[in-house]
Chains A and B, each alone.
Chain A
Amino acid sequence: MADLHKHTLAELSEKLSSGACTSVDIVNDVLASIDSTDGKIGAYLTLDRDDALAQANLADERRANGENLPLLGIPIAIKDLLNVKGQPCTCSSKILEGYIAPYDATVISKLRKAGAVLLGRVNMDEFAMGSSTENAALGKTSNPWNLEHVPGGSSGGSAACVSADEAIAALGSDTGGSIRQPAAFCGCVGVKPTYGRVSRYGLTAFASSLDQIGPLTKTVKDSAILLETLCGHDPLDSSSLKMDVPAFGKNLTADTSLVGMKLGLPKEYFVEGMDPEVEKVVREAIEHCKSLGAEIVEVSLPNAKYAIAVYYIIATAEASANLARFDGIRYGMRIDGKNPADLYAKTRSAGFGQEVKRRIILGTYVLSSGYYDAYYKKAQKVRTLIRKDFTDAFKTCDAILAPVTPTPAYKKGDKTDDPLKMYLDDILTTPINLAGNCALSVPCGFSSSGMPIGLHIIGDDFQEETILKVGHAYEQSTEWHKQRPSL
């Protein structure tokens, strides 16, 4: 059987269900694909072939015993910041060298129960701090559409491996756009669920009040199927909400009509400095939604422009505390010192990369004595305004359409010397993390140089079903998602 790795999750689920192929067949094809292309892409940090095949065998056995779950036997790549019992979890950082996770993240337990094959661990920006996967201590990842370009970040490995058919789907995490932006850059689908939808237990925290785990897949339907398994209340995560999980996958039908849907167009979202090609492609996508019957209404998100400032205060402040535990005492790398303080400083200086240090220092500063009110407290108040903008907007529309990024994927090294420039690229994604609602990115075209562009579909709190429906209708009535990079 050839080229199983090129199929979507939904297609393979069908094939497995009908007996047209086995999980071992799929895993073998995916491993072969990794062998042939990952030398160029560099998505994987660790890959245990025997373990993957053993899991596949087990999945096939479960199926032989009558189980028929949609993820049973589907190989999924894991962003390297999720704890999987018995595996390393480096977060692409030297400081976690030697750490072996003694427990499973809740999403991992859910995937195991669903019978998914945990394929391997994929690259990311160190501790999810970055938008290009260039801040990675253990490997470089390239964009499958153009190896000179970045895959986006921080879930760059997740997006690249899905786009390059090196995994059927992947898990990522999104703190300020880290799922949606690489999905847009690599031409795949990525969903940031509503804060509280998916348990964060076992996700190495970057910014606890913003982080959410979500799927990166080849199609909207695939994301819907995977998301359904990831969601649900977890007593181990105090921020996890007791909400019913709709049958996201099943509820997506072949009907691509958007009649009766009101889609908002935020006038502030076509920002200054936006690549005209991106604007053009996204506006075409919006026109397309209109042709599917949607009513387009103008909405306003007046405080969205402050999102970067607010985000880089709140996220770095939380990170400065979250990353304090990486101190060389209980696990990970240690560089000995003459006393504990000396050990901490030596270990952390050698263990963290530059961007991580930069953000820890910024976050430490905005919380420090005398500056808290001026920075942190103020940012929390503006966060309230940003959240209110969305609440107001969703009074007049069902979902919001927008670009995901101001530009398509750029060349490696283009922005590494200018952190602020890199931060500003998150202008369109961070407001959603600050507000807490959900959003996805779906491919909607290409730049003239052949780089993918994503359409941002933003929903209200817990309206994943709505954005999946819009995304699915758009995707199924266009051809963008069928295009694959030639490798």
Chain B
Amino acid sequence: MSETHEGMDVGYVAKLACIDLTEEETVLFQSQLDQVLHYVEQLNELDVSAVEPTAHAVPVFNVLRKDELGTSLNHEEVMANAPSSADGHIRVPKIIEQ
């Protein structure tokens, strides 16, 4: 972490997260999150090279369901929640192939 933490580029990360920040927010978050990242560096005290990571609090496997039909939503309900729709579809601004 010490080698990686040179302070994050808040603007770049916000873009990855699809959030526009104002200039004030960028400056504020930069200093606040740098503090948090600095705090987090204490994890470097620990040698965890031989430790397995924990992704789930409980060790459970193979939680499966049968390939059987469940209940789908009513189409009108789905459309009522959509901010914009057309022809039974959800309408979005034109997608430009990126």
Contact = CB atoms under 8 A, between A and B. Distances in A.
Contacts of A62: none
Contacts of A375: 1, 40
Interface in B5-61: 5, 8, 10, 13-14, 16-21, 25, 29, 32-33, 35-36, 39-40, 42-43, 46, 48, 51-58, 60
B60 A196 contact: yes
B54 A357 contact: no
Give the size range of B's interface with the partner: 35 or more
A192 B56 CA distance: 17
Question: Which DSSP category, helix, strand, loop or mixed, fits chain B's interface?
Answer: loop
Interface in A434-467: 434-436, 461
Nearest to A354: B25
A349 B19 CA distance: 5
A370 B4 contact: yes
B81 A196 contact: no
B36 A102 contact: no
Nearest to B5: A374
B63 A238 contact: yes
Interface string A344-356: 1110110010100
Interface string A378-393: 1111111101000000
A330 B82 contact: yes
Given A309-B42, A357-B25, A98 B48 contact: no
B96 A339 contact: yes
A378 B43 contact: yes
Interface centre among B17, B43, B77, B94 (most CB of A within 10 A): B17
A209 B55 contact: yes
A387 B54 CA distance: 9
Contacts of A380: 53-55
B65 A235 contact: yes
Interface of B: 1, 3-5, 8, 10, 13-14, 16-21, 25, 29, 32-33, 35-36, 39-40, 42-43, 46, 48, 51-58, 60, 63, 65, 73-74, 77-78, 80-84, 90, 92-96
22 contacts: A239-B58, A306-B42, A308-B39, A309-B43, A312-B36, A313-B40, A332-B83, A339-B96, A340-B95, A349-B20, A357-B25, A358-B32, A360-B17, A361-B14, A361-B19, A374-B3, A377-B53, A385-B48, A385-B51, A419-B36, A420-B39, A461-B58
6 smallest A-B Cβ distances: which pairs? Answer: A436-B57, A380-B53, A334-B83, A381-B48, A195-B57, A331-B81
